Amino acid sequence: MPDELVSLTIDDVQVSVPKGTLLIEAAKQAGVLVPHYCYHPGLPVAGVCRMCLVDVEKQPKLSIACATQVADGMVVRTQSDQAKKARQSVLEFLLINHPLDCPICDQAGECELQDFVFQEGRAGTRYTEYSKRFNPVEDFGPDVLYVPNRCILCTRCVRFMEDVAKEPVLNVSERGDRAFIGIHPESRLDHPWAGNVVDLCPVGSLLSKDFLHKARAWELDKTASICTGCSQGCNVTLDTREDVVVRVRPRPNLDVNRYFMCDHGRAHYRWMNRGDRIEAPLIRHGGELRATDWDEALDRSREILKGARGAAVALVSPRASTEALFLARRALAAFEWTGAFQVVVGDEAPLAGVPNLALRAERAPNGKGAELLGYTRAYAAAVTAAQSAAVVLVLDDPDAVVKTDGALIYLGTVLPPVAREAAVALPIANVAEEEGTFVNRDGRVQRYFQAKPAPGMARPGWWALGELLPEAERPASAADAFTQLAAAEPAFAGLSYGQLGFAGARTTRGAGAGAGVPA
C-alpha cells in the first residue's frame, strides 16, 4: 500500500512526502539542508542541540525540524529572521566553550561546527573574557579518543552505543555546562562497532587513534568502494592522500550497512598500500623468473593455454572481482575445469540494533560471487587435482600451496612462494587500484571504484585475464567485462553495470540465498 502523501512548502519549494516524515528529511527533498548536530538519520531523535529551529507558519514558537512531523499545507521557513537568529545564537552558545583549536584538530575541514558557523554564525564572539571549560583527553577505547573540550554534547555517540550497538557504556555525566560524555568506569569503548562514534561525532571530540594527525580533511580524495573485510559488503569510502589509503569510512546504504561499518573493516586497509608489489610481468627462463613486458608475458600465457589439453584448475581468491573471476573461468573454457577458493573464518560480530548487519565470520568480500560463477569451497580437492592438471591458474591467492606437473599461471599483487613456481606471473591491481564488483552474502552485486593508480605495470585482473581470450572477445573495460558476464551467467541476468551505480542491485539467484533478509 503506498504511503499517504503530505504536501508542504519549505522555503517556497513545494514537496510531497509520506505522512510521518520529519521536517528535516522533507527539507532535504526540497533541497534545503537544515543545520543540525544531534539529529542523525541512523539514530533515535534527541532534539537537544536546538540547531534545527525553523519557522513553521501558525506556530507561536520556532520548531525543531528534527522532531516535527510534516503536516499537510505546512509552510516552513528556514531563513526567517527569527529562525536565523535562533540558530546563530545556538552557534554562539556552542562556541563559548569550544576551544577553536581547529589548526590542530583532525576534524577541521569536515567539521559541522566549522561549516555552520561559517555559513551562519556571528562574525565575532561576545564571550572574550572567560576561560573555557577544560577536561583532559580521555582514552575511551582501542581506537577512540575523547577530547571533551571540543564536545558539543549532541549525544550521538551515547545514542549509538545505547540504541544501535545496544552496549550502553557511554552517558552524559554531570549537569549544566560541566557536562561531558562519560564512560562506564569499568568499561572500554571496545565494541566491535565502536568506531562509528568517531564518524558520528559532528566535531573533533571523538577521534580515531589510527587516523590521528594523518591528514587534513582537505588533502583527502574520496572514492566509493566496498569493504573487503567480510562477506557483508558494507559500502565504504576510501580516503586517500597522495595515493595512499589513510582511512576507510562507511558510505550510507540503507539496504546493506545503513550508516555504519565495523572496526575490523575500518582497520583493514593497510594491505592496500603494500610496497612489496609485483610491478612487472614475469616469465620463466630456466630456473628463474625474469621481468618482461606485457606483450611477451601475455604471448607466453596464450601459448601455454593453446598448447595444453585436459584438466585445468583455478585457485582463486574470494577477494578477486567478479569480472576477473568470470574471465578466469572463460580463459580456461577449453579445459576440463575445476575452480575453488578458500575463505578465512573469524568471529561473527553483529550490530544488534540493525537487522542483518554483522561482521561476518567469512572474511571474504566476494565468496558469493565466486560461488555464483561455479567456484567451490572444495579447495583441498582442487589442490590435489592441480598436481596432474595441464594448467593451473592462481588468481591473487598468495596462500596457495600447489605442486603441479602442468603449467602454472599466477596473477597477483605480491610474489608469494607459489608464484615462484609459475611459468608466468602477472602483476595485477588491488581493490583500491581498479574498478569492479563484489557480490555480498545476500547476493547483492556492488561496484567499487578506483582510488589510486596501480604500481608499475600492474593492471586490473579483468584486463590481464581478458587478454587471454580470443581477440574479438577481449573486454575493453570493467564495464565491458561485466556486460559479458551478465550476458553469459544466468545468475547475473538483467543486471547492467551502469544501473548498479553506487548502491548495487540483487542478483536473481542470490535473492533466495540471503536468509532472513527483508525483501
Partner 1 sequence: MGYPHKPHPKETAVLSKHFGDAEARSYKGWVKRGGYEAWKQAQAMTPAAIIEELKNSGLRGRGGAGFPTGLKWSFMPKEKKKPHYLCVNADESEPGTFKDREIMRWTPHQLLEGTAIAMRAIQAEVGYIYVRGEFTEPFAIMAQALDEAYKAGILGDLKIYLVRGAGAYICGEETALMNSIEGKRGNPRIKPPFPAAAGVFGLPTTINNVETLAAVPHILKNGAAWYKAMCLSNPKSTGTKLFSVCGQVQKPGNYEVTMGFPLKDLIYGMAGGVPRGRTLKACIPGGSSVPILNREETESCLLDYEGCVEKGTMLGSGGVIVFDDSADMVYQIMRLARFYAHESCAQCTQCREGTAWTTKILQRILAGQGKSTDLDLLLDLSENMTGKTICVLSDSCAAPVVSGIKKFRGEFEEYLAGRRRPVVAA
By beta-carbon proximity to partner 1, the closer residue of 111 and 428 is: 111
Site for partner 1 in 340-369 (CB under 8 A): none
Q: Choose one: 125-133, 190-198, 262-270, 285-293; the region binding partner 1 (CB under 8 A).
A: 125-133
According to CB under 8 A, which one of 32, 43, 64, 207 is a site residue for partner 1? 64
CB of 111 to partner 1, least distance (A): 16
CB of 518 to partner 1, least distance (A): 25
CB of 90 to partner 1, least distance (A): 5
DSSP assignment of 201-260 equals: -SSTTEEETTTTTT--GGG-EEEEEE--SSTT--EEEEEEETTEEEEEEE--BTTTTBT-
Tell me, by CB under 8 A, how many residues bind partner 1: 36
According to CB under 8 A, which one of 17, 30, 51, 409 is a site residue for partner 1? 51
By beta-carbon proximity to partner 1, the closer residue of 99 and 416 is: 99
Assigned C-alpha cell, 329: 573461468
Contacts of 62 (CB under 8 A, 6+ apart): 53, 54, 55, 56, 82, 83, 86
By beta-carbon proximity to partner 1, the closer residue of 85 and 403 is: 85
Q: List 172's β-bridge partners, or say none.
A: 181
Contacts of 449 (CB under 8 A, 6+ apart): 223, 224, 225, 435
Residue window 126-165: x/- pattern of binding to partner 1, with contact defined by CB under 8 A:
xx-xx---------------------xx-x----------
Longest dimension (CA), the chain: 88
Element holding 417 (H helix, E strand): none
Site for partner 1 in 166-225 (CB under 8 A): 171-172, 174-179
130 alpha carbon, distance to own chain's centre: 43
Site for partner 1 in 92-111 (CB under 8 A): 92-94, 96-97
By beta-carbon proximity to partner 1, the closer residue of 34 and 389 is: 34
Assess 120 for contact with partner 1 (CB under 8 A).
no
For residues 428 and 411, give the distance between their C-alpha atoms in angstroms, rounded to a whole number. 6
Residue window 26-45: x/- pattern of binding to partner 1, with contact defined by CB under 8 A:
-------------------x
According to CB under 8 A, which one of 36, 40, 50, 329 is a site residue for partner 1? 50
For residues 495 and 450, give the distance between their C-alpha atoms in angstroms, rounded to a whole number. 21
Contacts of 224 (CB under 8 A, 6+ apart): 235, 236, 237, 251, 447, 448, 449, 502
According to CB under 8 A, which one of 18, 20, 31, 47 is a site residue for partner 1? 47
Q: List 222's β-bridge partners, or say none.
A: 239
Assess 58 for contact with partner 1 (CB under 8 A).
no
Contacts of 474 (CB under 8 A, 6+ apart): 466, 467
Torsion angle, CA of 24/29/30/36, rounded to 10 degrees? 30
By beta-carbon proximity to partner 1, the closer residue of 126 and 285 is: 126
Assess 49 for contact with partner 1 (CB under 8 A).
yes
According to CB under 8 A, which one of 10, 26, 62, 165 is a site residue for partner 1? 62
By beta-carbon proximity to partner 1, the closer residue of 38 and 189 is: 38
CB of 78 to partner 1, least distance (A): 15
280 alpha carbon, distance to own chain's centre: 29
488: left (phi over 0), alpha (psi -120 to 50) or beta: alpha
Taking a C-beta distance cutoff of 8 angstroms, is the pair 394, 379 a contact? no
CB of 171 to partner 1, least distance (A): 7
Assess 90 for contact with partner 1 (CB under 8 A).
yes
Assess 57 for contact with partner 1 (CB under 8 A).
no
CB of 151 to partner 1, least distance (A): 11
For residues 487 and 505, give the distance between their C-alpha atoms in angstroms, rounded to a whole number. 16
Helix (H, G, I), strand (E, B) or coil at 412: strand
For residues 142 and 195, give the distance between their C-alpha atoms in angstroms, rounded to a whole number. 9
By beta-carbon proximity to partner 1, the closer residue of 122 and 403 is: 122
By beta-carbon proximity to partner 1, the closer residue of 90 and 256 is: 90
Rounded to a whole number of angstroms, the distance between the first and last alpha carbons of the chain is 15
Instruction: Please give the residue ranges that form the binding site for partner 1 (CB under 8 A).
Output: 45-51, 53, 61-62, 64, 67, 85-86, 89-90, 92-94, 96-97, 126-127, 129-130, 152-153, 155, 171-172, 174-179
